[in-house]
Structure 1
């Protein structure tokens, strides 16, 4: 199911948008959201959908483990050298918003090792509705919630829901089983986000990640223009 309030957003070109050789560096997109919302599954689906047309790498964040990176490696979504894990050792949004040095180093190491890259996905560790990425780390951010978390999540708002460049409402296939009203979620998200886009996904369906891949392609087109 794809309920879409889509208005394409153009990523801002930051001061460090060029590689040392003067060419434009990879577009960096951050993915955040609560624990269990489907961030890693979304990253995996994006890699499968885009790896034949784009040069991609991924940075994952976990507090004390490499579990998300290992999930991606087990599922062979990208070659191992294109996946790098960061162990934050603290609240996940500290490493994506407050002290981004470890993530920034991982991103730059990937550019040096397997670049030139078109796209780097930076996945945050599971966090709450306040998680946001520093603009010094990513050029655009995606926030992933899921219907099993309650259909009141969009109405509750929070920086992740209200300000992310794309809001993804995942696991729509579970809505009948958990009593979530997708229409209500769409209306509430629209009221919270105004012109910012919202997409609904079910990664269990064929090409269920398509609304997100379409958005990523539009961001990349704007980035390269």
Structure 2
């Protein structure tokens, strides 16, 4: 569940992620290791980079592996991609002590110029991972069918409360015995009307509904600031 952290660096971080002003929409992406978070970020950058100014902050425990992947893929200009090495459990840096990510986002916005959208990717975590609302405006949670078609039924805050649930790697369903209809039914039962999208981003499938969902949030933000 979301928490505010107004005590962190009050001299700089005086506005929550949902505050007003000319500030990029911040979208958090969480999910288990190997679910396809970085591939989803890369696909979103490709889908949206000609429409809006995007920046990316990745989180890894001890490396810059995910940021380096995005740089190799050339999904954005290098100055628009930065990394946080959390040095601890991934959810700590996105929910409990968000100071390093706040610094990274603000530095990115200052150095890369005005941005419309910042994607913050969590390090691989479990089904309890959520972002502080002091860090992001909305959050996407990515799971994959290879992890088992019972994941939506198991729930957890990442599955049940994320603003958008992405079920990735649907192309593997027949190979791992996953029932996609069952996953859809279980997700609907757990999420109380919140949307779920099925994708196979490594194969270029399904990213457009996710991009459209972000476009809608950008439009809402622009309307609210008008």
Q: Deviations over 1:74-96 (max 9, x none)?
A: 00001110001000000000000
Tell me the residue number matched to 2:105: 107
Out of 145, 169, 172, the residue aligned to residue 170 of structure 2 is 172
Out of 81, 84, 104, the residue aligned to residue 82 of structure 2 is 84
Q: How far apart, CA to CA, are the structure 2 residues paired with 1:144 and 1:218?
A: 19
Closer/same/farther in 2, CA of residues 15 and 157 from structure 1, 3 Å limit:
closer
What stretches of structure 2 of length at least 5 have no aligned partner?
A: 1-14
- Is 1:189 the counterpart of 2:187 in the alignment? yes
Q: Which deviates further from its counterpart, 208-217 or 30-39?
A: 208-217
Out of 203, 209, 220, the residue aligned to residue 211 of structure 1 is 209
CA contact (8 A) 1:17 1:24 kept: no
Out of 215, 218, 221, the residue aligned to residue 220 of structure 1 is 218
CA contact (8 A) 1:62 1:124 kept: yes
Name the TM-score, length of structure 2 as normaliser. 0.90
Deviation at 1:211, TM superposition (A): 1.4
Q: How far apart, CA to CA, are the structure 1 residues paired with 2:199 and 2:54?
A: 22
Out of 156, 163, 166, the residue aligned to residue 154 of structure 2 is 156
Q: Which deviates further from its counterpart, 214-223 or 198-207?
A: 198-207
Aligned residues: 209
Deviation at 1:72, TM superposition (A): 0.2
- The DSSP-based 3-state class of the residue aligned with 1:90 is coil
Tell me the residue number matched to 1:117: 115
| Cα RMSD for the two superposed structures | 1.3
Out of 32, 35, 56, the residue aligned to residue 33 of structure 2 is 35
- Is 1:134 the counterpart of 2:123 in the alignment? no
